[in-house]
Chain A
Amino acid sequence: MSTFLDEVNERINGVPIQACYHCRKCTAGCPLAFAMEYNPNKIIKMIQMGMKDKVLNSSTIWLCASCETCVTRCPNNVDIARMMDVLREMAIEEKVEPKEKSIAKFHEAFLSNIKAGGRINEPLMIVNYKLKSGDYFSDMAMGMSMFMKGKIKLFSPRTKDMKSVREIFKSTSK
């Protein structure tokens, strides 16, 4: 029976996260740490202690912007950004309600838009996101302005070979 730590390490498939000795360079350089529930290095400790529920239910995993500063600075080459990707993926697979709903909804809207057209159709994607997240009215003025300037087009060319795009989504769906 594998532990939460084992599972995370297996998915990262790189340096095991227990190589961390809490120098906190990751947390110090993280631009989102100020807003996170638990600091990046604390998440590592929590994984080692098997605190799966708290970790997957945290805002931390969703607020990580994948800026890769942590990875670049870790003296032990722990791939903290990849760890955050792994934790997000696990949360989705286990149907954990995301602590940061809007962020999770954004990813859903983005990917379903590619699945439909091969390329992002920005107005459609943004409308989809707004409907999913319930955030209907912010940025409305800016959206109108961009539309008037020709930056957001209602019809944008799609990928022709949609079969291959759909196949990719089908093969990787969970």
Chain B
Amino acid sequence: MKVSYYPGCSLHATGKEYDLSVKAVSKALDIELHEVEDWSCCGASSAHMTNHKLSVALPARNIMIAEKNEWDVMIPCAACFNRFKTAQHHMRNDEALKKEVETMVGGKFSDSVAVRNPIDILYNDVGVERLSDKVKKKLTGLKPVSYYGCLLLRPPEICQFDDYENPYMLDKLMASLGADTRNWSCKTDCCGGSLTLGKTEIVVRLVDKLMTMAREAGANCLVTACPVCFANLDTRASENVRLPAFYFTEIIALAMGLEGPESWFSMHNVDPRPLLKSLSLL
């Protein structure tokens, strides 16, 4: 399977573990990643929060580059995923805006590629059975809660991915690896996102709540698919409640016995290695 790959700014920096683990897992599952040529930032939250046209034009530039191929575009970062889908939505429904953006970017928007996140691709195109077959190390004793966050799912008309109040795809992927996935009611609760620098105390409060609820659900870790969520879970939790967090692809790579997980775990702020060693998973 061939896909266009849009890593986005985070995956080249603080989200490095996500980039490396997505690449390792894709390679092991015969998903060929072709990085979008000379990509630029999608604008994330700051663009749409302050300038509507900018927030459509920035992702549009990348969409038009990706449209040179007919492959789906895999976007691991939830914010980038959401912004690409939103830009497509606006250009589909607002002819005047579409023409304006096409002139700005110097291209044509043909709406010919599907923008997808890796949970969707792994669940629907690879499937839990095939994933299960590839497991070399069953993740017995690992009790993750699946933390989907906001932008993969909402608004539902734009994301069109999974059940937006009680999603299950990530849970099923984790269960297929032999992990004891814990059910909880905070799957889609906000971590505070981009307020992490400007209003740290709010993010601490929201993340502490997630950690407390994860513990109540009997979890010993959290699994996520968004670099901002991961950064917040990993760096903003108070010491007395915090639990290690993982990108879901790191866990898949661990279960598949691929090379790399230990080096990625060493980059986390909250070191997950003691937990994994205690479960004989490392």
Chain A residues within 8 Å of B195, by CB: 32, 63, 65, 103
Report the Cα distance A71→B151, complex, angstroms: 12
User: Judging by beta carbons under 8 Å apart, are B9 and A68 in contact?
Assistant: no
Chain A residues within 8 Å of B190, by CB: 31-32, 65, 67, 69
Task: Give, as a whole number of angstroms, the nearest-CB distance from A107 to chain B.
Answer: 4
- Among the stretches A2-10, A50-58, A151-159, the one at the interface with B is A151-159
Task: Give, as a whole number of angstroms, the nearest-CB distance from A2 to chain B.
Answer: 18
Query: Of A111, A149, A152, A164, which one neighbours B266 at CB under 8 angstroms?
Result: A149
A164-B105 contact in complex given A13-B94, A111-B46, A119-B12, C-beta closer than 8 Å: yes
Residues of B near any A CB (own CB < 8 A): 9-10, 12-14, 16, 38-41, 43-54, 57-58, 61, 94, 100, 103-106, 150-151, 154-156, 164-165, 188-190, 192-195, 197-200, 202, 206, 235, 266-267, 269
Residues of A near any B CB (own CB < 8 A): 11, 13, 31-32, 35, 63, 65-69, 71-72, 81, 84-86, 88-89, 92, 100, 102-103, 105-107, 110-111, 114, 118-120, 122, 126, 129, 133, 135, 138-139, 142, 145-146, 149-153, 156-157, 159-161, 164-165, 167-169, 171-172, 174
26 A-B residue contacts at CB 8 Å?
A31-B189, A31-B190, A63-B202, A65-B150, A65-B193, A65-B194, A67-B154, A68-B151, A85-B49, A89-B50, A89-B52, A102-B198, A103-B198, A106-B46, A107-B45, A119-B9, A120-B10, A135-B197, A146-B269, A149-B266, A150-B267, A160-B38, A167-B104, A167-B105, A171-B53, A171-B100
